[in-house]
Structure 1
């Protein structure tokens, strides 16, 4: 099977390595993703093949190639009919279109499609599900794997990071191309949570310049936070290849690694960010906003071939996605929303209450809109870092006209 790799930024032997006692290369599995939630369970729609390490969530289970998917989760909840926001209802179809979807490695609030399409919402909120389309959702390790599934024709839509997207475009990896159709979440917005690099309170590191000769933890080479680190280091006169040692640490293990001094500095993302920061023994050093300002980290893309043949189904899917966002952000639904997410992710309700859909959460446009500039800036940084060999003009691949509400230009 074709496997698309987001290239490592580091040259071999340039100081980048994996810390074996934290996250061995062959044991990383779901922890090397671009996102972070690590709770996985199976619901009645999940199909698991223990001989191949595969799990898919689908109304019509299917098999995918070995190592394509991780153990995953889904949850069902009791029903209470709720109104929706868009009012868009697709014409009934004799046979709903099956949309094969690859997640970007996250689960729960940091990747909203994983909770928008839970059974409770399918039954009570999403007007088009089961009529215009059904969803075959594959949970991946991260956006590079989602990109591989998209490039090999095994899925039709996917959540991609800007780095995975730009790599696919630069390599012309998907015959016929692809289109960005909706945002997922954005980082670096003033007044909202932002991915943050921390040091211990008692650390002598007081500025980015003090990281020279130190060990810094990120989740995976070539990930969004890896690029943030390198841009901020360069802005402060440090060479990422020579002046610091960058190591891979899974997101669930990052805070313990910082506290135990296995790394001098490490990045925390939601859902770990609010919980670990609240303990008071870690000090922020810099953020994703320091690198790019407001920027889109992950977004939804569709294969152009699938979009051409199934535009109505994609439009119905996006209408339901936006209705799902509106439902989760409606204060009237908060108790039920927290219950659903807690059941799905196995996260404590008080933790979810502390940040989800508040200013302590990532910024999300609840209409699914994203400006081209929010994706362009980090991709241009990829070109500067020689991760891609040509400029990618995001505006040529962005089409938000299928969303139910107009987006500001």
Structure 2
């Protein structure tokens, strides 16, 4: 149930040779005209922003073709890099890592992040002696994926609070399935657990837990993940990408300005009518996409944060990527 140490930014290296070579085949229909069909992976029990945009009629003549579900953002963008799907989404650290490894991908719009409603908190038992960053030395911190968003937040929290690199090495991040995190904290298998969304809200309803800090506490509102295409696909299908990105941007703003109950009802309706035998329970807890910029506009700092963090860890060389090469807002008709 609980596995130890490093498990992700290893993942961005799996299939990287294929990513670097295969992305040359991830093209549209070229001289025959732009493709109007975008292949993608979904998430079981969830309605993605592109799916919402399609249902709202914001994608015009562009059609989405669902090819299956994923449980991993890094896997999703690798699939886009190798041409198995046309676009994928992941947390921005995975985007930076994949780009640094040679995959010619580019972010085009933000799709999730942290705000006062959508955030990941680091929780301890209410009577835990852990009340500061230094109290985490020698303790186990459970999170869904190692080397990713949550481990970065933990590292930033420790560094900001004066914990030395040698002491940081004594804090032990551990991969724990999200559905088991609350129980692992309550049973003392780990001292701290990262909880977000429905799992956070359900755990807090039971009581007995206390928030140590959250990603929103650390960085304020920020976009944490982006959708990517290969540069070749962008070159061959600019009109299709513009329709897609602008449609997703409109869906972000629709979600922002529409009553929460209406957004939830729409998502539940989409999930139910597509007939994939999914449980809509998690959707009923939806509060926000957490996207910071208008229409998912991407800002330098949302990617430079991860360039710096990965370079500090020795995962990439700081000169391997140029932040401005990682993304573009030019296809976003709402926030270009």
For 1:315, which of 220, 237, 242 is the aligned residue?
A: 242
* Helix, strand or coil at the partner of 2:295: coil
1:37-88 Cα deviation digits (max 9, x unpaired): xxxxxxxxxxxxxxxxxxxxxxxxxxxxxxxxxxxxxxxxxxxxxxxxxxxx
Cα shift at 1:247: 1.1
Cα shift at 1:213: 1.4
What CA distance in whole angstroms lies between the structure 2 residues aligned with 1:95 and 1:381? 38
Cα shift at 1:330: 4.1
2:136 is equivalent to residue 211 of structure 1: yes
2:188 is equivalent to residue 267 of structure 1: no
> Residue 324 of structure 2 corresponds to which residue in structure 1?
395
Are the structure 2 counterparts of residues 116 and 270 from structure 1 closer, same or farther at C-alpha, using a change threshold of 3 Å?
A: farther
TM-score (norm 2): 0.78
What CA distance in whole angstroms lies between the structure 1 residues aligned with 2:282 and 2:155? 35
Are the structure 2 counterparts of residues 245 and 231 from structure 1 closer, same or farther at C-alpha, using a change threshold of 3 Å?
A: same
What CA distance in whole angstroms lies between the structure 2 residues aligned with 1:95 and 1:380? 37
Cα shift at 1:273: 2.3
What CA distance in whole angstroms lies between the structure 2 residues aligned with 1:95 and 1:228? 40
What CA distance in whole angstroms lies between the structure 2 residues aligned with 1:348 and 1:150? 29
> Residue 85 of structure 1 corresponds to which residue in structure 2?
none
Are the structure 2 counterparts of residues 246 and 270 from structure 1 closer, same or farther at C-alpha, using a change threshold of 3 Å?
A: same
**Do 1:233 and 1:240's aligned partners in 2 also have CA atoms closer than 8 Å?**
no
1:93-142 Cα deviation digits (max 9, x unpaired): 99852212245x68637x5335444xxx1xxx21544x244434542221
**Do 1:215 and 1:245's aligned partners in 2 also have CA atoms closer than 8 Å?**
yes
**Do 2:122 and 2:214's aligned partners in 1 also have CA atoms closer than 8 Å?**
yes
**Do 2:39 and 2:86's aligned partners in 1 also have CA atoms closer than 8 Å?**
yes
What CA distance in whole angstroms lies between the structure 1 residues aligned with 2:44 and 2:335? 27
For 2:264, which of 327, 335, 338 is the aligned residue?
A: 338
Task: In structure 2, list runs of 5 or more residues that go unmatched.
Answer: 12-31, 272-277
Cα shift at 1:351: 4.8
Cα shift at 1:194: 2.4
Query: How many residue pairs end up in the alignment?
Result: 302
Higher RCO (C-alpha under 8 Å, 6+ residues apart): 2
> Residue 108 of structure 2 corresponds to which residue in structure 1?
181
1:147-188 Cα deviation digits (max 9, x unpaired): 32123221221112112111111111x2xx22211111222x
> Residue 108 of structure 1 corresponds to which residue in structure 2?
46
2:93 is equivalent to residue 163 of structure 1: yes
**Do 2:121 and 2:194's aligned partners in 1 also have CA atoms closer than 8 Å?**
yes
**Do 2:92 and 2:225's aligned partners in 1 also have CA atoms closer than 8 Å?**
yes
> Residue 70 of structure 2 corresponds to which residue in structure 1?
140
For 1:373, which of 301, 305, 324 is the aligned residue?
A: 301
Cα shift at 1:233: 2.3
**Do 2:246 and 2:332's aligned partners in 1 also have CA atoms closer than 8 Å?**
yes
Cα shift at 1:197: 0.3
What CA distance in whole angstroms lies between the structure 1 residues aligned with 2:36 and 2:87? 13
> Residue 72 of structure 1 corresponds to which residue in structure 2?
none
> Residue 59 of structure 1 corresponds to which residue in structure 2?
none
Cα shift at 1:285: 0.7
Task: In structure 1, list runs of 5 or more residues that go unmatched.
Answer: 1-20, 34-92
1:263-314 Cα deviation digits (max 9, x unpaired): 1001112232233223331101122145544443111111111111111111
For 2:287, which of 349, 352, 356 is the aligned residue?
A: 356
2:246 is equivalent to residue 286 of structure 1: no
1:2-55 Cα deviation digits (max 9, x unpaired): xxxxxxxxxxxxxxxxxxx34699xx9xxxx9xxxxxxxxxxxxxxxxxxxxxx
Cα shift at 1:341: 3.0
2:114 is equivalent to residue 194 of structure 1: no
Are the structure 2 counterparts of residues 203 and 315 from structure 1 closer, same or farther at C-alpha, using a change threshold of 3 Å?
A: same
**Do 1:200 and 1:281's aligned partners in 2 also have CA atoms closer than 8 Å?**
yes
1:312-368 Cα deviation digits (max 9, x unpaired): 111111222223334434436x5443234346363448952xx514xxx63444512
TM-score (norm 1): 0.65
What CA distance in whole angstroms lies between the structure 1 residues aligned with 2:171 and 2:33? 59
> Residue 97 of structure 1 corresponds to which residue in structure 2?
36
Cα RMSD after superposing both structures: 3.1
